[in-house]
Amino acid sequence: MKSFIAANWKMNKTISETREFLREFIPLVKNVSDVDIVIAPPFTALSAAAEAMKGTNVQLAAQDIFWEEKGAFTGEVAPAMLLDAGCTHVIIGHSERRQYFHEDDAAVNKKVKAAHKAGLGVIFCFGESLGEREAGKTFDVIRREIDKGLEGIGAENLVVAYEPIWAIGTGKTASPEQAQEVHAFVRDILRRLYGSTADGLRILYGGSVTPENISALMACPDVNGGLVGGASLKTDSFAKLVCYK
């Protein structure tokens, strides 16, 4: 299976910083053929990034999407607009969207459906909080988020990302054992939903992934890639992540 490593820049980088990053980064990874490399800049930098990525092995993702096609939805961005800007993928259901912007499972599901319908690759995120983990609810939360978020969605163009909220931006990575335990559980859920197709789906781990810890995480049988925030903001660090082998 080809691994999948995505940069989630969150609310970082201007257009010129994006261009500068890509000018340095693209040559560093040009010979990488066994990893899908994806970068998700903020909306404002998408088309500049698309321009810089043209003809390269680096693909473009948005960090969010809205489910309507067009109309009076101030501040929102439609699926066709993301395609028009050059995106091949979109991140949906990130815990920061769920936490700060009150996205619930139903909203996430509508976004996944709209992205899928438009032909965008979906990077679907889920994961438990520290409180939920400590209360022994990790598996229940994850089962609910996946079942509701992916309800009615086919397996094509789908990548899923386990991001324990307690590990995001905290420097506290899940251990390879903790990640594998959840990823194996997620694989079983995906088998229930998609049968044997699930064995070919990429399950990413996200939460304080660094060049130092990626190899141990990627050595887990059900960890097929990473979704990287902080460590994706510097060219050398993200290039090292992509070239983890």
Active-site annotation, residues: 94, 163
The answer to the question of residue 40 lying near ligand PGA (CB under 6 A) is: no
Number of residues located near ligand PGA, criterion CB under 6 A: 13
For ligand PGA, which is the closer residue by CB, 45 or 168?
168
For ligand PGA, which is the closer residue by CB, 120 or 165?
165
Contact pick of 27, 119, 131, 169 for ligand PGA (by CB under 6 A)? 169
C-alpha of 153 from chain center: 17
The answer to the question of residue 207 lying near ligand PGA (CB under 6 A) is: yes
The answer to the question of residue 93 lying near ligand PGA (CB under 6 A) is: no
CB of 66 to ligand PGA, least distance (A): 20
Nearest-angstrom CA–CA distance, 92 and 35: 21
Nearest-angstrom CA–CA distance, 138 and 140: 6
For ligand PGA, which is the closer residue by CB, 86 or 230?
230
Query: Residue 134, Cβ neighbours under 10 Å: how many?
Result: 11
Nearest-angstrom CA–CA distance, 125 and 80: 21
The answer to the question of residue 227 lying near ligand PGA (CB under 6 A) is: yes
Contact pick of 208, 213, 224, 235 for ligand PGA (by CB under 6 A)? 208
The answer to the question of residue 8 lying near ligand PGA (CB under 6 A) is: yes
The answer to the question of residue 41 lying near ligand PGA (CB under 6 A) is: no
For ligand PGA, which is the closer residue by CB, 42 or 230?
230
Give the CA distances from residue 28 to residues 21, 22, 37, 115, 185, in Å, rounded to whole numbers and listed in that order.
11, 10, 12, 30, 35
The answer to the question of residue 209 lying near ligand PGA (CB under 6 A) is: yes
The answer to the question of residue 103 lying near ligand PGA (CB under 6 A) is: no
8 A C-beta contact, residue 6 and residue 225? yes
Contact pick of 77, 108, 168, 179 for ligand PGA (by CB under 6 A)? 168
Name which of 202, 136, 137, 209 is nearest 172 in CA terms: 209
Nearest-angstrom CA–CA distance, 220 and 159: 17
Report the alpha-carbon angle 170-88-62, nearest 5. 40
Q: What is the DSSP letter of 123?
A: E
Residues of this chain that bind ligand PGA (CB under 6 A): 8, 163, 168-169, 206-209, 227-231
